[in-house]
Amino acid sequence: MSITVTPSGQACGAQVLGLDLSKPLTTGEVADIKKAWAEHHVLSFPDQQLTDDDLERFTQYFGKLGDDPFLRPIEGRRYIAAIARFADETSPIFAESWHSDWSFKARPPIGTCLLGVTIPPKGGDTLFANQHLAYERMPESLQRRVEKLTAVHSAVLAYSPDGLYGKPDPGVKSAMQPIISDEARKTQTHPLVITHPVNGRKAIFGCMGYTIGIEGMDEVAAEELLRELHAWQTKEECVYRHQWQPNMLIMWDNRSVLHAATGGFEGYDRLLHRTTIWP
């Protein structure tokens, strides 16, 4: 089957037609998807009727399945997490800050797959910021300042007992029940600028939130630099707004984009099944 790849017309993202992902793919089809993925960084596959087995099989064409560090898997599965929110929920939107998934791991997941199970009729878009464009469009002087730096990543601000998700309001019910642990305090370093191994383009890797410092810089200077970078990383011109449809699967490349969830679907349940693609 030959595939049709239609770019979103925004900073990244493309829609892929011509595949039935409920069936095993040929080597040629996988190669076509990989090529489109390296070019567009976020791919969406509409009109797919997929089971959790299909989601896991699809994920494994691109890397290994792996455990999510701070999300419990859904019942009966080891590698699938639910991104869920109740219609009447008032807790903060989960994953609303820009991030690259689990960037605080020594070898973070190269990508993520997200399958729409219950998609609200409005809102709940996922935003993606193209980090190749962000790097390429920043002033040369800033590129030079950051290109040799090493960033310190950690989940402390999110999943430690003092983190964002560490003290849920007991009076507010939440569909997301992340694992809160002192493990989240661990740190891991990565270059602040990486070169993508497939498309060869440079990108800023990581973002305020999971990036908590810069090696060799004091806290204040590091935070100032991270804030300056953040403004470039999330500029409107670098952003693709993904609008969901029922029965849609998307995959994104964590080495090329940051992503962020959005709200705007009060009164409707939202449920997606997620796998991460590990190197």
- Whether 249 and 117 have beta carbons less than 8 Å apart is answered as no
Of 33 and 71, CB closest to ligand SIN: 71
- Cα separation, 131 vs 34, in Å, equals 18
Of 50 and 146, CB closest to ligand SIN: 50
Least Å distance between CB 5 and ligand SIN?
22
Of 146 and 270, CB closest to ligand SIN: 270
Q: Which of 24, 17, 25, 22 is nearest to 46 (CA)?
A: 17
Least Å distance between CB 274 and ligand SIN?
6
Q: Which residues contact 12 (CB under 8 A, 6 or more apart)?
A: 40, 41, 42, 128, 130, 133, 240, 256, 257
Catalog residues that contact ligand SIN under the rule CB under 6 A.
83, 95, 114, 126, 259, 261, 274
SS3 of residue 208 by DSSP: strand
Least Å distance between CB 186 and ligand SIN?
21
Of 85 and 190, CB closest to ligand SIN: 85
Least Å distance between CB 252 and ligand SIN?
9
Least Å distance between CB 263 and ligand SIN?
10
For 211, phi then psi, to 5°, come to -95, 115
Of 119 and 222, CB closest to ligand SIN: 119
In order, the DSSP letters of 209-278 are: TTEEEETTS-HHHHHHHHHHHHHHHT-GGGEEEEPP-TT-EEEEETTTEEEEE----TTS-EEEEEEEEB
